[in-house]
Amino acid sequence: MSVTIKSGDEIEAMRKAGRITADAIKAVGAAVRPGITTKQLDIIAEDYIRSMGAVPSFKGLYGFPASICTSVNEQVVHGIPSDRVLKEGDIISIDAGACIEGFHGDAARTFAVGEILPEHQKLIDVTEKSFFCGISFAKAGNFLYKISGAIQDCAEGEGYGVVRDCVGHGIGKAMHEDPDVPNYRNNKRGIKLRAGMTLAIEPMVNIGTHKVRLLSDRWTLVTRDGSYSAHYENTVLILPDGREPEILTMSKDQGQKG
């Protein structure tokens, strides 16, 4: 395993990539409404990312055909934008990345389409909460498993399933770098966190069980039981001296929670 420690200049490039990623998702979120297609949302994201002098990290990555992932209702991750029209009561997870000056940002949010059921809003809220529970341990000197365990405890404590087939990851010059960042405990405590590491931490949480299956498009992962799923992700920077991590993919008006 080779985990990269970013220099000051590299961190500045990642801040730029993170801001562009966050603002692209914000632009997409503002457009989410009944009647819009997921392909139209993809166009909004790509146009914004390119207008900022960046390129969409996902387009062409491992052959993925679009600039963002649009995962609706029971779709967990990697939904492909299409002519699908969003309906009142849907939820949609938007996963996006931007690359500028050779470095990537990666983030995801789940949005309500019009009025949604309270149980679906709670799923979105708990998924976001589990991320912040996890990053409370994203400090230099801690071991990686503390992040994973906190995410799992938060989500499962509310009765949800935590997806195991997809995990978070290191990020930098490549979209996916070492280490893997599970959202659940395993038998390994993982690496010791050091200042200058950058991680994409991304809980994927299901109303039902954690079990998922892959659709025939070979991209879209859905819940096996058909229950709704939510996704929340940010790129974070580990800071020196045990300080709280810096979230690189948070829009200015959102601030940093915790």
Domain count, the chain: 1
87 found inside a domain? yes
Range of the domain at 37: 8-247
Q: Is the pLDDT of residue 29 over 70?
A: yes
190 found inside a domain? yes
127 found inside a domain? yes
255 found inside a domain? no
Q: What is the pLDDT of residue 252?
A: 66
Q: pTM here?
A: 0.96
254 found inside a domain? no
User: Which of the four pLDDT bands, split at 50, 70 and 90, describes residue 187?
Assistant: confident
Q: Is the pLDDT of residue 256 over 70?
A: no
Q: Mean pLDDT in the chain? A: 96
Ordered DSSP codes for the chain: -------HHHHHHHHHHHHHHHHHHHHHHHH--TT-BHHHHHHHHHHHHHHTT-EESSTTGGG--SSEEEEETTEEE-PPP-SPBP-TT-EEEEEEEEEETTEEEEEEEEEE-SS--HHHHHHHHHHHHHHHHHHTT-STTSBHHHHHHHHHHHHHHTTPEEP-SS-EEE-SSSSSEEEEE-SS--S---PBP-TT-EEEE--EEESS-S-EEE-TTSS-EEETT---EEE-BEEEEPPSTTPPPEESS--TTT----
Q: What is the pLDDT of residue 220?
A: 98
Contact in structure between 21 and 105 (CB atoms under 8 Å): yes
24 found inside a domain? yes
pLDDT in tens, 57-100: 999 999 999 999 999 999 999 999 999 999 999 999 999 999 99
252 found inside a domain? no
204 found inside a domain? yes
Residue 125 makes CB contacts below 8 A (sequence gap 6+) with none
Provide the residue type at 21 as one letter: T
Q: How far is the C-alpha of 183 from the C-alpha of 180, rounded, in Å?
A: 10
Q: Is the pLDDT of residue 258 over 50?
A: no
Domain CATH code at residue 159: 3.90.230.10
Q: Could you tell me which of 169, 233, 237 has the C-alpha nearest to residue 202?
A: 233
In the chain, the percentage of residues whose pLDDT exceeds 90 is 94
